[in-house]
Amino acid sequence: MAAETEEIRGIGHSVRRVEDDRFIRGAGNFIDDMHLPGMLYMAILRSPYAHAKLNGIDPSRAQALEGVIAVVTGELMAQHNLAWMPTMSGDTQAVLVTDKVRFQGQEVAAVIATDPFAATDALELIDVDYEPLGVVVSPQQAAAAGAPLIRDEKEGQTDNHIYHWEAGDQEATDAAFAQADRVVSLDTWYPRSHPSPLETCGCVADVNPATGQATIYMTSQAPHAIRTVFALVTGLPEEKIRIVSPDLGGGFGNKVPVYPGYVVATAASLLLGHPVKWIEERSENLISTGFARDYHMHGELALKADGTMTGLRVSLDADEGAFFADAQPSKFKVGLFHIVSGSYDLPTAHVSADGYYTNKAPGGVAYRCSFRVTEASYMIERLVQNAAYEIGIDPAEFRKKNFIEKDQFPYKSATGFEYDSGDYQGAMDLALEKVGYDQLRKEQAEARKEGRLIGIGLASFTEVVGAGPHKDYDILGLKMNDGAELRIHPTGKAILKISSKTQGQGHETTFAQIVASELGIQPEDIKVMHGDTDNTPYGLGTYASRSTPTVGAATAMVSRKLRDKARKLAAHLLEVSEDDVEFEAGRFTVKGAPDKAVTIQDAAFAAYTNFPDGMEAGLEGVTYYDPPNLTFPFGTYAVVVEVDAETGVWKVDRMVAVDDCGVRINPMIVEGQIHGGLCEGFGIAAMEQITFDEEGNCIGANFLDYLLPTAWETPRFELGATVTPSPHHPIGAKGVGESATVGSPAAFVNAVIDALWPLGVRNIDMPLTSGKVWEAIQAAKAG
Ligand code: CDP
């Protein structure tokens, strides 16, 4: 690899994000910035009921409103065989309701009008006859005898159960528990939360009636996969569909699913011969689009008397909402949850999971996490801290005793993962040192004597990212491999086309840096294109921290392919044999005669002007990368809190985050990703939660009810890094985008529990509002 010189600013340099230039100037190109000639506007009527039979819809008053062009109903969609669509999990989902509504906020009808205000006003004039039905808002209710059947349209579906899934060795795990000196258990619920991207979802569908070409500008993290699904849903030939995902104002998993709005807008454009724009309002986004989490979990650790872990048993009930719609590898119904053994050397483990339909919006998106790893990480890190206290060992000591050690990698976990690399002790040592752990424990003991409740919480998490190897990872049968296409122009400037889709992570900067390191072309001379299915190679998109492990690898590999050809061109220009040519930092030199040199730019020019006989002209190529394994970033987070026992208010004094994502392409961007993730982790631990009342009304439809942390509440973060390269990744990088959200909630909660443990508090479910903390203290006091 070329040296990462100051001049070239490849891997390891904190290059400023090229994207920011247009964003800071307000010159980004988001969906709502788009205006096409003759464009119409769509608004969606959503159900006020969570479960209700649809007896009829009368659109006549709405249709009479000035500016209204059409009212689209489920019946109309059914005439075109579009009333239902497949989900990314192989289930089906109603596009517009034909039989009954199954969650509050479900799409019932759509109005197409000449302006957005007429479209919205007309919604109130659609008369719908609903007949309310019994409502199910939890997996426990869903499983209860006599529960209302939510998916009665599905042939053979007689209850609300979706799947049962298991991993690990049940027999061996049961044996470990039978022989255990001690068993520690924890019941916990990871509440439903919302990714809440700044920009809501939307699209502009433009179907050309003359050519049949459908161009759909869309807020999508996975344009290629969406195009394939669209082709399957609409029957349109795939080459006639172009999905363009322009600038995205955040995604966080919320922009992975196919939403009915996209399908209805496309159908309306097809039927009306005009482009149709649909933009969600904030409350629609919060009520009806991809939620995350909602896992009710039970975990047990089998332990020897000295604190050695010998087995792990976890069972969970997943609230999937009314349609099982989250995109995740099809082999794993609960994503990669079986990483629940975390950073620990557990000889046996068994995980079982049951999914249920409820009268809630479909959820389970990979919200800043690799397919349910956040839930898993939370479970094990909470359980480990409680186990340490039950046994009477300091939680840091307890982790150290049970960590997978550095020399055990590659390590085969009890639930089937092969961890590529790790140094858990190294990350924890650094975090403990940075936070001043030993001193803090002394201060904590002193403070307790004065009646002050200080808590120190740790989380030593392991992420698993980069899905994935084709053998095990696909979504709807589409293998999770990704591509990069690189073309170097005659003047030595380049264009890199990637299958991932940046939503604020800075791919236009970091992927150019990978090419810069491999080829010695400066990042500013490399344009990175993404998000347009006609102009980028196929791939499954950006979520679950998969871009660096997959597309980053493809980028390095295609650069190497071009470097090999450029070496041939350099040999031709230097009139030496290829074996005599060396490469470093964008220069090909003759071995032993470093003054005889040509640059990568010279070689590129020769590829179009002066190439040897028998060689094809040009300098371009494409690579699809099939990763040999996932990558396993990790870290240790340490949080210090003080809890006011009188009020339950807790505040964060310190937050130290040590992350290891292997080689950092752009350390500044990595730190930005970690800051974002820590902030989200704090929000989930402290204040974010979408609740539902017993009638299925969603409480959390606006940012007054759904509390996102602002700069006011968010604590200061102190970051640290260790570097353990992934041995199989071409540049040794592991993904990082989600790690901090995965790792941090447990650290915050553990800190509060640490403060309250001596009072007898063992567990509080997130979010830890002051009211809940106060109640837990009172309950513990009452015995
Ligand atoms: O898939 P997503 O882009 O969300 O996640 P990622 O692959 O973890 O990358 C997030 C951002 O951090 C991208 O801009 C990466 O290129 C960058 N990154 C990095 O600079 N070094 C790493 N080792 C990992 C990610």
Question: Is the CB of 540 within 6 Å of ligand 1?
Answer: no
* Atom 10 (ligand 1) nearest CA: 737
Closest ligand 1 atom, residue 548 Cα = 7
Task: State the DSSP code for 548.
Answer: I
What separation in angstroms does the CA of 468 have from each of 481, 547, 589, 625? 6, 10, 38, 9
Contact 413, 419 (CB under 8 A): yes
Residue from 201, 203, 369, 679 carrying the catalytic annotation? 369
Q: Which of 757, 762, 767, 746 is nearest to 637 (CA)?
A: 746
- C-alpha of residue 679 to centroid of ligand 1, in Å: 17
What pLDDT is stored for residue 370 in this prediction?
86
- Count of residues in the chain: 783
Tell me how far the alpha carbon of residue 631 lies from the centroid of ligand 1, in angstroms. Answer: 12
Cis-peptide into 468, omega within 30 deg: yes
Exposed / middle / buried, residue 465 (Cβ in 10 Å: 0-12, 13-18, 19+): buried
Active site residue 738: yes
Strand 202-207, strand 276-279: pairing: antiparallel
Catalytic pick among 106, 221, 503, 601: 221
Q: Is 517 in the pocket of ligand 1 (CB under 6 A)?
A: no
Q: Which two tokens stand for residue 135?
A: 């409502």
Whether residue 737 has its Cβ less than 6 Å from ligand 1: yes
Over residues 550-568, the pLDDT tens digits come to: 999 999 999 999 999 999 9
Q: Is 664 in the pocket of ligand 1 (CB under 6 A)?
A: yes
Atom of ligand 1 nearest to the CA of 507: 14
CA 670 / ligand 1 centre spacing (Å): 7
> What is the per-residue pLDDT across 467-482, written as a single tens digit (0 to 9) for each?
999 999 998 889 999 9
Measure CA 275 to chain center: 31
- Taking the centre of ligand 1 as the mean of its atom positions, its distance from the CA of residue 666, in whole angstroms, is 8
Residue 389, Cβ neighbours under 10 Å: how many?
Answer: 17
Q: Is the pLDDT of residue 363 over 70?
A: yes
Ligand 1 centroid distance, CA of 247 (Å): 17
CB count within 10 Å of CB 471 equals 10
Pocket lining: 504 vs ligand 1, CB cutoff 6 Å: no
Contact 714 CB / ligand 1 (< 6 Å): no
Q: Which atom of ligand 1 is nearest to the CA of 735?
A: 8
**End-to-end distance of the chain based on CA atoms, in angstroms?**
64
Ligand 1 pocket member 514 (CB < 6 A): no
Q: Is 741 in the pocket of ligand 1 (CB under 6 A)?
A: no
Q: Which atom of ligand 1 is nearest to the CA of 546?
A: 1
Find the Cα–Cα–Cα–Cα dihedral 582, 584, 589, 590, rounded to 10°: -30
* Ligand 1 atom with least separation from CA of 502: 3
| Mean pLDDT computed over 113-125 | 98
pLDDT at 414: 97
Residues 690 and 700: beta-carbon distance below 8 Å? yes
Per-residue pLDDT of 667-711, as tens digits, reads: 999 999 999 999 999 999 999 999 999 999 999 899 999 999 999
Distance, in Å, from the CA atom of 220 to the CA atom of 171, rounded to the nearest integer, reads: 43
Q: Which of 420, 501, 509, 548 to mutate to test the pocket of ligand 1 (most atoms within 8 A of CB)?
A: 548
Task: Quote the pLDDT of residue 691.
Answer: 92
330 CA from centroid of ligand 1 (Å): 24
**Residue closest to 138 by CA, chosen among 287, 357, 299:** 357
| Ligand 1 contacts CB of residue 467 (under 6 A) | no
Give the whole-angstrom CA distance, residue 64 versus residue 61: 5
Region of poorest pLDDT, from 109-123, 175-189, 326-340, 598-612: 326-340
Residue 511 carries which side chain, given as an amino acid letter? F
CA dist 342 and 355 (Å) reads: 22
Residue owning the nearest CA to atom 2 of ligand 1: 545
Question: Which residues are bridge partners to 317 per DSSP?
Answer: 296, 354
Q: Is 673 in the pocket of ligand 1 (CB under 6 A)?
A: yes
DSSP for 633-667, written as a single string? -EEEEEEEEEE-TTT--EEEEEEEEEEE-BS-S-H
Let me know the angle formed at the C-alpha of 701 by 695 and 706, rounded to the nearest 5 degrees.
Answer: 110
Half-sphere exposure at residue 318, Cβ-oriented, CA atoms within 13 angstroms: 29
CA dihedral 51, 55, 61, 62 (to 10 degrees): 40
Query: CA-CA distances (angstroms) from residue 558 to 364, 518, 619?
Result: 34, 10, 11
Indicate if ligand 1 lies below 6 Å from the C-beta of 523.
Answer: no
Tell me how many degrees the CA angle 128-133-138 measures, rounded to the nearest 5: 120
At residue 768, does pLDDT exceed 60? yes
For the segment 447-460, the average pLDDT, to the nearest whole number, is: 97
The encoded tokens of residue 144 equal: 């209860």
Q: Does 669 sit in the ligand 1 pocket, CB within 6 Å? A: yes
Cα–Cα dist 45/80, whole Å: 20
Tens-digit pLDDT profile for residues 209-223: 999 999 999 999 999
The catalytic residue among 284, 671, 688, 738 is 738
Q: What is the pLDDT of residue 299?
A: 98
Query: Taking 80 as the threshold, does the pLDDT of residue 3 lie above it?
Result: no
- Say which residues have a Cβ less than 8 Å from residue 110's Cβ, sequence separation at least 6: 42, 43, 44, 45, 71, 72, 96, 261, 264, 265, 268, 278
pLDDT at 2: 44
Q: Please compute the mean of the pLDDT values over residues 240-263 and round it to a whole number.
A: 95
The predicted pLDDT at position 234 comes to 80
Give which of 117, 218, 284 is closest to 701, Cα–Cα. Answer: 284
Residue nearest to atom 16 of ligand 1 (CA): 510
Q: Using an 8 Å Cβ cutoff, are 519 and 562 in contact? A: yes
Render pLDDT for 39-67 as a digit per residue (tens, 0 to 9).
Answer: 999 999 999 999 999 999 999 999 999 99
Query: Tens digits of per-residue pLDDT, 707-764?
Result: 999 999 999 999 999 999 999 999 999 999 899 999 999 999 999 999 999 999 999 9
Residue 4 has pLDDT above 80, yes or no: no
Is 369 in the active site? yes
| Under 8 Å between Cβ of 382 and 188 | yes
Q: State the residue for tokens 């690189």.
A: 486
Report helix, strand and coil shares of the chain as percent, to nearest 5: 30, 25, 45
Relative orientation angle of helices 437-449 and 424-435, to the nearest 10 degrees: 50
* Pocket lining: 661 vs ligand 1, CB cutoff 6 Å: yes
Atom of ligand 1 nearest to the CA of 544: 1
Q: Is the CB of 736 under 6 A from ligand 1?
A: yes
User: Helices 260-272 and 223-234 meet at what angle, rounded to 10?
Assistant: 60
**Measured at the alpha carbon of residue 188, what is the angle toward residues 184 and 193, in degrees to the nearest 5?**
155
CB-CB contact of 87 with 35 (8 Å): no
1 pLDDT more than 60: no
The Å distance, Cα 465 to ligand 1 centre, comes to: 11
Q: Which residues pair with 537 in a beta bridge?
A: none
Q: 56 alpha carbon to ligand 1 midpoint, in Å?
A: 49
Q: How many CB atoms lie within 10 A of CB 595?
A: 6
Residues 33 and 249: beta-carbon distance below 8 Å: no
Let me know if 452 is a catalytic residue: no
Tell which atom from ligand 1 comes closest to the C-alpha of 510.
16
Would the CB of 551 count as within 6 Å of ligand 1?
no
Active site residue: 192, 368, 487, 567, which one? Answer: 368
pLDDT digits (tens, 9 = 90+) for 284-308: 999 999 999 999 999 999 999 999 9
Strand, helix or coil for residue 615: coil
Classify residue 710 by burial, with Cβ atoms within 10 Å: 0-12, 13-18, 19+. exposed
Backbone angles phi, psi at 129, to 5 degrees: -100, 105
Q: What is the pLDDT of residues 129-177, one digit of tens each?
A: 999 999 999 999 999 999 999 999 999 999 999 999 999 999 999 999 9
Tell me if 553 CB under 6 Å of ligand 1: no
Q: What is the mean pLDDT of residues 311-318?
A: 98
Query: Which residues are bridge partners to 304 per DSSP?
Result: none
Q: Is 439 in the active site?
A: no
